[in-house]
Amino acid sequence: EKQRRVREGGMGAGVSALPGATMSVAESRIRNNSAAGSLTADPVSELTLTASVVSDGQPMAASGEGFGVLATTESTVSVSSSHFDRNIGAAIAVMGGATVEISTSALNGTLPIGDHFGWGLGVQQASRALLDRVTIEGNREAGIAAFGKDSEVWAHGSAIRGTLPTSQGEFGHGVAVQNGASVKLISTHLHSNETAGGVVRGAGTTLHLTTAALTGTRQGGAWLGSGEGTPGDFQVFGDGLLASGSGELKVDYSVISSNSRCGVYYHDALGVITGSTISGNGSYGLAMDGSEDAVSYVEGDNLISGNAVNLPQSLAAEVTTSPDGLPVPPPPQSIGLPQRGD
């Protein structure tokens, strides 16, 4: 079926591919629908969206969801040449082992559910997303959030920029990878995100950047809870890349520059840096806290210079294994998108 019309103001999804169905939607405008997803791919269905606009999702009364696209159990969704704006919770939410392919599209301006979410792309429950030439801009909490064992995101030639914090002033990560997920970014630019351009946290969790650029991360923060700082203590961050809690961060042939705190910060984490340039960052170029034996890098193979521009001369260093207790932001407590109750 080809939809060439405005789908507006309905109760429920604008378009729904029911279990086992195959549906194609092209040259359409889908807006103001009130459902878990303006477009919903039910279990084992196939949904293709081309040259369309999906916007202004309306919140469901029970959960507050208003996703642009919701891909559920083992469904397959293909999105090309389409624009998402002002949806709620996530522009595209992928769960239950679903697969989503997105090309030459924009996932912008997602609004939060209460105090949290507002992601461009959320991938969980062993699901997979493949991105090619996608812009993810002006979302909240995280541009891309991937979490859970066997969840994967692969992005090529894309841009993730201008992510905003929550209503409580927290996070604004370009990419957040947690709890066993893996993300690979190839020839992708992360710019002007907040708190951390890219963050990886947790054993078995991987963030890998190759021929990428990570620039201009803004100061941002998070409330540190008991055990991580004084309860109610708001700490300020702003790292280009941050790995913590036994997460693994790999950086190959990439540029990390002009971030407000560290270029790369490993905190009880592991990884490797190869053939990369780290320069012009506000604090250390490379900081390793409890990670110096688990991080592989060769100074002669990487250019690490012109950092610590905001540190006093007595503390300035390009590389340090004694970052003097730089705090690490906690994970978003809301991690895990609301799930459709059907």
Q: Please report, rounded to a whole number, the percentage of residues in the chain having pLDDT higher than 90.
A: 72
Q: Please report, rounded to a whole number, the percentage of residues in the chain having pLDDT higher than 70.
A: 90
Give pLDDT tens digits for 3-16: 444 444 444 788 89
User: Which of 246, 255, 171 minimizes the C-alpha distance to 209?
Assistant: 255
Q: Is the pLDDT of residue 232 over 70?
A: no
* The predicted structure's pLDDT at residue 338: 63
- Find out whether 222 and 196 touch, Cβ atoms under 8 Å: no
Q: Read off the pTM.
A: 0.92
* The predicted structure's pLDDT at residue 2: 38
Cβ-based neighbours of 58, under 8 Å, separated by 6 or more: 32, 33, 34, 66, 88
* The predicted structure's pLDDT at residue 299: 79
Give pLDDT tens digits for 126-175: 999 999 999 999 999 999 999 999 999 999 999 999 999 998 889 999 99
Is 59 exposed, middle or buried (CB count within 10 Å of its CB: 0-12, 13-18, 19+)? middle
* Mean pLDDT on 111-126: 94
- For 293: left if phi > 0, alpha if psi spans -120 to 50, otherwise beta; the answer is alpha
* The predicted structure's pLDDT at residue 119: 97
Tokens linked to 121: 């792309």
Q: Is the pLDDT of residue 342 over 80?
A: no
What is the rounded CA–CA span in Å between residue 152 and residue 146? 7
- Find out whether 230 and 253 touch, Cβ atoms under 8 Å: no
What is the rounded CA–CA span in Å between residue 270 and residue 286? 13
Output b/e per residue, 140-156; b: 16+ Cβ within 10 A: bbbbbbbbbeebbbbbb
